[in-house]
Amino acid sequence: MSDQTYQPTIGGLRAFVAVAKRLHFGSAATDLGVSQPSLSQSLAGLESGLGVKLVERTTRRVLLTAEGRRLLPSAMAACDAVDNFLADAAGEGDPLTGTLRLGVIPTIAPYILPRLLRGLPQRRPDLELRVVEDQTARLLEQLREGTLDVAVLALPANSPGIGEIPMYDEDFVLALPAEHPLAGRQRLAPAMLSDLPLLLLDEGHCLRDQALDVCQRAGVNPDVRQTRAASLTTAVQCVEGGLGVTLIPETAVSVETASGGLATARFAKPRPGRRIGLVYRESSGRGAAYAELAQDLTALVGESGQVTVVE
């Protein structure tokens, strides 16, 4: 049972969060710029004051206990709050300066990053982006752990403690072999997917789930081929080779059709599609600043004319 009068120190909370992120005491100590014995002492003091074991340490590995996993989000929120307080006290009120760690899912990154990396420095000259490309679940995990600041992904994220800022909507387009009879059609019924050999991305890609959702909403059981791709580019190459058809987002069309071996067809309105947004930890206290960043990113992507900006 914890002592109700106990007040944890920020050093103890930072030690716990660092160890939880790294699951390695040496790396956590390096991150915090302290010695390993000092880190261990801070963590032990926190555990003693709380009366709970947060971390299990063996000769081979470091694990969070059930209590550690439960309390980690609150510890991270407390560290975020202290960091924001110190930044405000030092007059560093603009989070959109310095380094910002941006996550992007693979079905977005290749198609919008060139535009963002060219245009954002003109809008935010004091902001330095560090980009991480990964699947949605892993990006959300990195956000919760504090190793990312924001991420661009398909909404809704449906993740507790994660704020969402809608940016733009984009249609799904049917990618076909160049000589396919449906090539160039503009008002396809989604129900036609039941007669087509649909190629899907691997498990973990949200675009796979979105493609299946399009089929479900259309009331069809598509002919899903066993061929699966780790990336959208690979799926497109399989389509070009005659192995089936696939759904691609509108922002990917110009890039993926550049080789000339791919044709497209568009669905009738209301067209199936997805909403893209910026997500962040609500505990960061930076929702207003990240909303400004989302406006910048949306404006840059919107210049292509391929998306519908969310008002």
Q: Which residue has the higher pLDDT, 131 or 60?
A: 131
Alpha carbon 23 to its chain centroid, in Å, reads: 22
Smallest CA-to-CA distance from 275 within 173, 174, 170 is with: 170
In this prediction, residue 137 has a pLDDT band, given cuts at 50, 70 and 90, of very high
In this prediction, residue 103 has a pLDDT band, given cuts at 50, 70 and 90, of very high
Question: Could you give the CA distance from residue 253 to residue 249 in angstroms, rounded to a whole number?
Answer: 7
In this prediction, residue 147 has a pLDDT band, given cuts at 50, 70 and 90, of confident
In three-state secondary structure terms, 105 is coil
β-strand pairing of 127-133 with 98-104: parallel
Question: Could you give the CA distance from residue 44 to residue 41 in angstroms, rounded to a whole number?
Answer: 5
Smallest CA-to-CA distance from 278 within 144, 165, 148 is with: 165
Average pLDDT value over all residues in the chain: 89
| Residues above pLDDT 90, as percent of the chain | 54
Does the pLDDT value for residue 226 go beyond 80?
no
Residue in the block written with tokens 């977005």:
108
Task: Please give the average per-residue pLDDT across 241-262, as a whole number.
Answer: 90
**Alpha helices, DSSP H, located in 51-133:** 66-89, 109-123
The per-residue pLDDT for 3 is 54
Peptide bond into 249 cis (omega under 30): no
What digits encode the pLDDT tens for the residues 70-98? Answer: 999 889 888 888 887 777 666 555 778 88
In this prediction, residue 221 has a pLDDT band, given cuts at 50, 70 and 90, of confident
What digits encode the pLDDT tens for the residues 189-209? Answer: 988 888 889 898 888 888 989
What digits encode the pLDDT tens for the residues 288-310? Answer: 999 999 999 999 999 988 899 99
